[in-house]
Chain A
Amino acid sequence: MRPAVLITAALVVAMALGVALFGSPYLTAHVTRMLVYAIFAMSLDLLIGYCGLVSLGHAAFFGIGGYTTAVLAAKLQITNVLVGLPVSILTAALGALAIGLLTLRTKGIYFIMATLAFAEMVYFFVNDSDFLGGSDGLLVRARFRLDIGSLVSLDASDRTVTFVIALVAAALTFIGLFLFVRSPFGRVLQGIRSNEKRMRALGYPVARYKLACFVIGGALAGLAGHLHVLLTSLADPSILDWLHSAQVLMMVIIGGLGSLIGPAIGAFVLIELIDQAAELTEHWKLIVGVTVIAVTLFGKGGLVGLGSALAARFHGAKVGA
């Protein structure tokens, strides 16, 4: 896995430089969007791929983070990313704590349905709320800023600045999660996924670990939500609906469950796929639907799985020759 990680890191750096130096504003925004969804997808992979918590309501935390940012900026005139970012992460984490306490009481199919339903609840709450802009959402007219004391004073709504913030956030998220899943704590989560009964029999307070994982995943989804609003200046209810949760789930599967880098790549791929399909035909949902079915039924382990299988064949061919 290590060489693959290094290659990916190199590609990311190259992309960053390329976009920063040569990118049109459209391209910059496009890549930023991919980074936002890479973070979102990795946060869901932590839940499903590492801890076995199949959540269909993950968009709720993306939305809580995004709406927090929008409310701070549009209603409280707080546009400094230095404040908005941590506060958005915090509210998303609190939301995950509340929903997690309720849904983690259930298992299996009930858990899937419960996460789905609670996310819908958040959607309706936001959609029906005049304060939060109702079905039109909250538009942030002011420009975001990144002010750190007297040292740094940047226009965070500038496409390039947003891109760099997103890039740093994505890189830190990836590195953080990479180390975290290899740590003893991360191993416990994987043990829970592998055999929850045995983990309990060993004495692990499984419920607490699951909740911690759910909250961490929710917090990172909130980070992605914050960046989304930074980029688009709009928080609307569609970022909370279950179709959005299903989209990020597809990114995780296409990339490869339980691999972290896979879902990040899956985010890039699915966004590109949707964009290209949308240009091809207004009925792009057909293409995406068929792709998802095909990948799930026939694609073992997503893109990462495919890559490993190819690498193994290549190795085998070299050794056997």
Chain B
Amino acid sequence: MQLSTFLIQVLNGVQYGMLLFLIASGLTLTFGVMGIINLAHGAFFMIGAYLVFQFTRFWGWPLALAYVAAIAAVVALGAVVERTVLAPLANRDHLDQVLVTYGLILIFDELAVIQWGKDVQPAEIPAFLRGSVHLTDMIIYPVYRLALAGAGLACAAGLYLLVARTRLGMIVRAGSVDRGMVSALGINVAPIFALVFGLGAALAALAGILAAPILSVSPGMGDKIIIIAFVVVVIGGIGSIKGAFVGALLVGLFDSFGKVLFPTVSSLVIYALMAFVLVWRPTGLFGKRA
């Protein structure tokens, strides 16, 4: 493989990986801290993208405002969903959680169709991020994709600081090791859960907004990517942000190189990766050992 091809695939892999990280981090936090498997997490991804579409295309808002408002709206929606539907599920078995969140998927997908129709909507790259840049004299790479990767890395750094250096982060880490203990210590977990869940929703919405120009906006976009996010979480280990980061990078890179090296079976490559990890570490690379 030529060096330039190699570098481009690395960049593609990192960019896709960062997108996946934004979604997977919320997923893994929700399960690790709150004990809830949320199949409908992809809905935040979809709704974030659609809201920006709505705000800019129909209401003519400036892009920056649309971004912020969309994320805020999704966080609010997430808070409502968490309090009403998910909190009662916290102590029920995983099967019930799967069923209820699957019901939510059906509802959200259909609401999106009702509001915006079934067609795939295009989304525009913000003007100042258009075009490509010369990384070397051989490699030309779209600015937007670099920005996406950069945004993801910035969020990863921010999350790391949050989890490792703040009091909230300490509670999150404690909670993912022993949930019951945290509330037994007298810490009021409800607002913490709401905060964590809201953060996850915000990150997923951001991912949707950033991905929209590349993937386009459609009612099923959340369903497709949530499975890959699950693969990331299984590979990385549930409840671990570090695992979500490493897992997302691995999946992104394997997918990217897989498309070039094994074009006929490229979509299977990441599942082969997951199979290998499961055989070697049934609880993921950084998950709690049973």
Contacts and interface: CB of A to CB of B under 8 A. Distances in A.
Given A109-B94, A112-B94, A296 B103 contact: yes
A112 B37 contact: yes
Contacts of A246: 98, 102
Contacts of B37: 109, 112-113
B110 A114 contact: no
A178 interface: no
B106 interface: yes
Nearest to B283: A110
B95 A48 contact: yes
B271 A293 contact: no
Contact of A290 (B103, B274, B275, B279): B103
Contacts of A296: 96, 99-100, 103
Interface stretch (A116-124, A219-227, A308-316): A116-124
A292 B99 contact: yes
Interface stretch (B54-62, B150-158, B183-191, B261-269): B261-269
Interface in B50-107: 85, 88, 94-96, 98-100, 102-107
B91 to A, nearest CB: 13
Interface stretch (B169-177, B198-206, B230-238): B230-238
Interface string B247-281: 00000000000000000110110010011001100
Contact of A113 (B100, B104, B233): B233
B227 A117 contact: yes
A109 B98 CA distance: 10
A110 B98 contact: no
Given A117-B271, A125-B265, A108 B107 contact: no
Contacts of A106: 278, 282-283
Nearest to B287: A110
Contact of B230 (A113, A124, A125, A250): A113
Nearest to B102: A246
Given A102-B279, A128-B264, A117 B234 contact: yes
B267 to A, nearest CB: 4
A292 B102 contact: yes
A102 B290 CA distance: 17
A285 B110 contact: yes
A292 B230 CA distance: 22
A200 B224 CA distance: 38
Contact of A289 (B107, B114, B284): B107
A105 B264 contact: no
A121 B271 contact: yes
A231 B239 CA distance: 45
A114 B94 CA distance: 14
A319 to B, nearest CB: 33
Could you say which of A108, A128, A250, A292 has the most chain B C-beta atoms within 10 Å of its C-beta? A292
B99 A54 contact: no
Contacts of A118: 271, 275
Nearest to B237: A110
B109 A56 contact: no
Contact of B107 (A54, A112, A285): A285
A116 B227 CA distance: 8
Could you say which of A242, A288, A293 has the most chain B C-beta atoms within 10 Å of its C-beta? A293
A278 B99 CA distance: 21
A305 to B, nearest CB: 14
Given A110-B238, A121-B271, A286-B111, A253 B99 contact: yes
B96 A289 contact: no
A289 B109 CA distance: 10
Interface string B110-125: 1101100000000000
A36 B31 CA distance: 35
A114 B274 contact: yes
A128 B268 CA distance: 10
A297 B91 CA distance: 12
A107 interface: yes
Interface of A: 48, 54, 56, 102-103, 105-110, 112-114, 116-118, 120-121, 124-125, 127-128, 242-243, 246, 249-250, 253, 257, 283, 285-286, 288-293, 296-297
Given A110-B234, A118-B271, 10 more contacts: A102-B275, A107-B282, A117-B227, A117-B234, A117-B271, A246-B98, A250-B102, A283-B113, A289-B110, A292-B103
26 contacts: A54-B94, A54-B95, A102-B275, A106-B278, A106-B283, A107-B290, A110-B234, A110-B282, A110-B283, A114-B234, A114-B278, A125-B265, A125-B267, A125-B268, A128-B267, A283-B110, A285-B109, A286-B107, A289-B103, A290-B107, A292-B99, A292-B106, A293-B99, A296-B96, A296-B99, A297-B96
Which 4 pairs from chain A and chain B are nearest by CB? A289-B106, A121-B271, A292-B103, A124-B267
